[in-house]
Structure 1
Amino acid sequence: MRKWLITTAVLGALAAPSFVFAADAAPASDFTASYNVGLFSQYIFRGLTQTNNKPALQGGFDVSHKSGLYIGGWASNVSWLRDNAGTSLAPVYSSGGSLEIDLYGGFKTEVQGIGIDLGALQYYYPGARNVGFDKANTTELYGALSYGWLQAKISGVVSKDAWGFGKKYNAGTNGDDERGTYYAELNANIPLADTGITALLHVGRQEFNQARASYSSPDASYTDWKVGLTKGFDGGVNIGAFYTDTNISTANAAANWTYANKNIGDSTGTVFVQKTF
């Protein structure tokens, strides 16, 4: 009887697939989603260390529709707001602002091999106090064109404040309006043959609109650049390293970019490991 049961089970298993194959395949979703998490030796934003050369844990998500529309979010620890504790900004920022949250959305398409990306991005720093002072929270609109491994992008501030530039240091009064501040950049991610290694090249220009013109000189604007390498592995793992620097002068650093007694735009190296799901 045991032999008969086994034989019957085998025959049944061979017959079963005809019913499975007859079922309709599930329709493909119009949406795709991805997630990422990374550990960096420091967080560099436009050539400036945001964590006083200390490690940063970062992560985010992206959801896109087949139409080209997309939304996403990203977060990292920061310290630059607290690092103002040694400056006149101490009463404003030193008690909070250890997190950056970015929320964004936009539209991507391609025309004759040229990628087009248009969107909006909100930088939010929970806990960053701004009573009578300029706000750290910043809103940008951006547009980018890409072809192959080359990308050109420009981001323009549409909020009155931009990362702490905007109001005079005179509680309750309005000062400089940072709308019109922009960042123009050129990026190249060049695959090195079949090695799985990609060379990273970047140059950018941060221009502030009347940045601290009422109470500080020189202007805070500057140029930054980056060179690096990244290597991809199976399972969505990437490791990499890059070098960054700026042309921030000693006078510019002293007036605008010295946090915790350090020029946050000094040349520096960063290493990282990142996983995409």
Structure 2
Amino acid sequence: MKKTLFASVLAAGFALSAQATEYSATVTGASDYLFNGISQTGEDPALQASFDVAFDNGFYVGTWASNVDFGPGDDADAEWDFYAGYSADFADGWNYDLMINQYIYVGESDYNYPEISAAITAPTNTTLRVWYTWKQFGEKNLDHSYIKLEQTYDIDDIWGLEASYTYNKALSGPGADTYWYGKDHYSNWLVGVTASYAGFDFALNWQDTDVDDAPEADGRVFFSVSRTFDF
């Protein structure tokens, strides 16, 4: 039923393509692919790209891809995601966003999993988002959730600041008690600076986790540069 729901949402989104008002594509080069503070590329650089379609009524659909490297003997070499959602303003400066996402790992389909999320953004550029999946990283019946509080601040037309904190929790299912490096939860955070200049977006931040004895979760400086093209 959940798979059917995801397929229905995607189909409905693409069926509305004739009403689309905005198409965009983004290309990003990054020093690493950090997913909740944990490297997905063996601490190596990442090349990422996305394509998004927004509609007049608030619905959107898109796809995003990145190289990945989970170590020797692992066949996954790329992550390719598909998502659909709805975003709307409901008060002066307030916004909510509902999304469903499908993670696909090229070369290792056993890792594939779906995810749903909900977010609310305040006029202070403060965003609270909650994610939930019933099949974390392909583990059948492994319920997992994470909650993220993010704050951004525009210094001027070029410079900005960002900070976030995320709590990750394996809720139930096989190996939930020890899923994250011997425990059922971990936290990660970042603090940094952003800039937009000559059509490019830059990010420089420090990211870390409370995970011990895992090099891929160690604290590190992260840098990225992106370029978005609107059609």
Question: Is the TM-score greater than 0.5?
Answer: yes
Matched residue type, 1:241: L
Partner in structure 2 of residue 65 of structure 1: 55
Aligned residues: 207
4+ aligned runs moved over 4 Å, structure 1: 213-217
- Find 1:184's aligned residue among 129, 144, 147: 147
Q: Which amino acid aligns with 2:105?
A: Y
| Residues 106/214 of structure 1: CA separation in 2 closer, same or farther (3 Å cut) | closer
Question: Hey, what does 1:274 align to over in structure 2?
Answer: 226
Show the 5 A alignment for 1:80-229.
80=70, 83=71, 85=72, 90=73, 94=74, 96-113=75-92, 114-128=94-108, 135-148=110-123, 149-158=125-134, 161-163=135-137, 166=139, 177-179=141-143, 181-192=144-155, 194=156, 196-210=158-172, 212-213=175-176, 218-229=182-193
Q: Distance in 1 between matches of 2:106 and 2:137?
A: 13
Aligned equivalents of 1:73, 1:58: Cα separation in 2:
11
Contact 2:120 2:127 in 1 (8 A): yes
Distance 1:206 1:33, change over 3 A: same
Supply the distance in 1 between the matched residues of 2:20 and 2:47 (Cα, whole angstroms).
31
Are the counterparts in 1 of residues 207 and 220 from structure 2 also a CA contact under 8 Å?
yes
The CA distance in 2 between the partners of 1:118 and 1:213, in whole Å, is 26
Residue of 10, 25, 31 corresponding to 2:21: 31
Distance in 2 (alpha carbons) for counterparts of 1:214 and 1:228? 32
Instruction: Give me the TM-score of the superposition, normalised by structure 2.
Output: 0.83
Q: Deviations over 1:221-271 (max 9, x none)?
A: 20000111111013x311221110001134xx4xxxxxxxxx211101111
Partner of 1:240: 203
The Cα offsets for residues 132-154 of structure 1, whole Å up to 9 and x where unpaired, read as xxx31121110000013110000
Superposition deviation, residue 67 in structure 1: 0.2
Q: Which runs of 5+ in 1 are unaligned?
A: 1-28, 130-134, 168-176, 254-262
Measure the CA separation in 1 of the matches of 2:193 and 2:184.
29
* Larger Rg belongs to: 1
Compute the displacement of 1:30 (Å).
4.5
Following superposition, the deviation at residue 203 of structure 1 comes to 0.4
SS in 2 for 1:123: strand
TM-score (norm 1): 0.70
Structure 1 position 188, deviation (Å): 1.0
